[in-house]
Amino acid sequence: MLDIKFIRENKDIVQAGAQKKHVKIDIAELVALDDKRKEALTSIEKKRAEQNAISEKIPTASAEDRQKMINDMKVVKEALQKEEDSLKEIMKSWQDMMLRVPNIPDMSVPEGDSDKDNKEIKEWGEKPKFDFEAKDHVELMTKLAMVDFERGSKVHGFRGYFLTGDGARLSFAIWQYAMDFFSAKKFIPVIPPTIVRKQFLYGTAHLPGDVEDFYMTQDGDALAGTAEVPLMGMHSEEVLDAKELPKRYLGFSPCYRREAGAHSKDVKGLIRVHEFYKFEQLVLCEASHETSVAVHEEINRNTEEFIESLGIPYHTVLNCGGDLGLGQVKKYDVELWVPKENTYREISSASYFHDFQTRRLNIRYKDAEGKLRYAHSLNCTAIPTPRILVSLVENFQQADGTIRIPEALQKYMGKAIIS
RNA sequence: GGAUAGGUGGCUGAGUGGUCUAAAGCAACAGUCUUGAAAACUGUCGUCCGCGCAAGUGGACCGUGAGUUCGAAUCUCACCCUAUCCGCCA
């Protein structure tokens, strides 16, 4: 959520920002509505002042004065009620619109419609050249009994999977390694709840949008699609100690995605599943653009370093305006090379929000002058499983169908080859 | 699922219809003292919105929303949330 004062003072920038994100919203209309809101509020406040002034005198007034005052106040009260009702109507549309005003994308964000217009800003590693017929991860992992899709769909349905044997072992190895890797970078590990109150989907700006994208419980709670949601909720309605900032959390949680409307996409394999696990970096920092930018680079770089330590070829893209969420100012995606698909697939997203989320969630801190300010928030995938397995097994496959394990993982896996 | 208690400022907590302009304590900040720190003492200290260059001034806020009333933290209703006990249970 943006500050209405900021919106009023920067109408054109906000409108242009929405344009860049391909979000339809009429800022002039919002400002006109806000004019109405202010006008109504001023008038109501005047009447209340009058009411308060007289009310104060009533207890000490003489009997007949008192009766006159009470009669006068009845008239004021009626007028006031009417105006309050009309303000309530205005506020309903006002709040609805405010929730839909997108955050302003950074200058460096390229124009564009969809992920096709994202800009590659970095390429790392050497794509493997196989002197044999390479297999895809479905075939590789099925043959090595690392995954069982047939029984997965028997039990879960479409997109269901069992990770079995070395598939499960490899996942545990990656988690262990990720724990060590990110703990060394001063992240506090957290296992958050993933059944969350719906308000936190609004707070993180996943809503308003399509509620159909989320699994909901019969109690009206949501299954979080990312640890970002509970981790941001963790400090909602709090005033943080400035000395504790930046707060760096490493969340580990199952993630639930309904993937409504994606039925024809990635129908095979581990790329797109309803339920997976993810380590997520989340940072709350002081309200400074420079700090946000620095932390944004830092957390994205953390993920790149993690991938580099595994030796998987990747590239990093800068997301275009049309591919940004409502609250995001700027986003990098790290995408891993998938040999059999001859393309890169996303495994990480690093975004910063300024105070867009913290304003909705009311996460503040006291700055050096003692003034309350909304903190800035950022998040970045550390590592998702099982999606990472797709690239891992395909890049490190050998002619005989066995898989080399990256050196960094060997001590967690207890062996060097999956066969 | 059943029963009970409760939600007040950064925190603890008093306040049951009209000087509530919300007590008090803690914490925080500033000062005195001290070589420095601690302690002690003194002082300052809620948030948001409007108007104003400013000093200031008006309004709102005691979980949320409705209601009663000239007037609500206080009374009524609904909802949300938290805690405890019983039952069930990994």
pLDDT given at position A366: 81
CA of A115 to C1' of B6 (A): 51
- Asked if A376 and A285 count as a contact pair (C-beta separation under 8 A), the reply is yes
**Digit-coded pLDDT (tens) for A41-72:** 888 888 888 888 888 788 777 777 788 888 88
pLDDT given at position A265: 87
Mean pLDDT score, A360-370: 83
**Digit-coded pLDDT (tens) for A184-208:** 999 999 999 999 998 899 999 998 8
Q: What are phi and psi of A366, to 5 degrees?
A: -95, 125
pLDDT given at position A78: 86
- Minimum-distance nucleotide, CA of A373 to C1': B47
> Does residue A364 carry a pLDDT above 80?
yes
- Minimum-distance nucleotide, CA of A372 to C1': B47
pLDDT given at position A66: 81
Sheet holding A275-285, edge to edge: A119-124, A314-318, A330-338, A343-352, A376-385, A275-285, A247-256, A188-190
CA of A77 to C1' of B79 (A): 27
> Closest protein residue to B50 using CA and C1' atoms?
A42
Nucleotides of chain B in contact with protein CB (under 7 A) are 10, 18-19, 47-51, 58-60, 66, 70-71, 81
**Digit-coded pLDDT (tens) for A288-346:** 999 999 999 999 999 999 999 999 999 999 999 999 999 999 999 999 999 999 999 99
> Does residue A413 carry a pLDDT above 80?
yes
> Does residue A182 carry a pLDDT above 90?
yes
Domains A4-98 and A115-418 share a fold: no
Helix axes A27-57, A11-20, angle to 10 degrees: 130
Q: Is the domain A4-98 a CATH 1.10.287.40 member?
A: yes
> Closest protein residue to B81 using CA and C1' atoms?
A197
- Asked if A106 and A308 count as a contact pair (C-beta separation under 8 A), the reply is no
> Does residue A368 carry a pLDDT above 80?
no
- Minimum-distance nucleotide, CA of A371 to C1': B47
Structure tokens at A299: 């957390």
CA of A3 to C1' of B9 (A): 24
Lowest-confidence region among A30-44, A120-134, A364-378: A364-378
- Minimum-distance nucleotide, CA of A72 to C1': B70
Residue A157, sorted as left (phi over 0), alpha (psi -120 to 50) or beta, turns out to be: left
Note the ipTM here. 0.84
pLDDT given at position A298: 97
> Does residue A81 carry a pLDDT above 90?
no
Q: Catalytic site residues of A?
A: 257, 272, 346, 349, 387
CB distance under 7 Å to strand B: residues: A 5, 38, 41-42, 44-46, 48-49, 51-56, 58-59, 70, 73-74, 77, 88, 197, 239, 370, 372
Structure tokens at A322: 């049309």
> Does residue A356 carry a pLDDT above 90?
yes
pLDDT given at position A175: 97
Domains of chain A by residue range: 4-98, 115-418
Structure tokens at A36: 């109405």
pLDDT given at position A174: 97
Question: Which run of H or of E encompasses A177?
Answer: helix A166-183
> Closest protein residue to B45 using CA and C1' atoms?
A370
CA of A370 to C1' of B44 (A): 13
CA of A363 to C1' of B32 (A): 37
**Digit-coded pLDDT (tens) for A202-260:** 999 998 887 888 998 888 889 999 999 999 999 998 888 888 889 999 999 999 999 88
Mean per-residue pLDDT over chain A, rounded: 92
- Minimum-distance nucleotide, CA of A52 to C1': B71
CA of A369 to C1' of B35 (A): 30
> Does residue A77 carry a pLDDT above 90?
no
> Does residue A287 carry a pLDDT above 80?
yes
Q: What is the pTM of this model?
A: 0.92
**Digit-coded pLDDT (tens) for A256-272:** 999 887 888 888 899 99
A115-418: CATH topology: BirA Bifunctional Protein; domain 2 (3.30.930)
Residue A371 — very low, low, confident or very high, per pLDDT cuts 50/70/90?
confident
CA–CA dist A330, A350 (Å, integer): 8
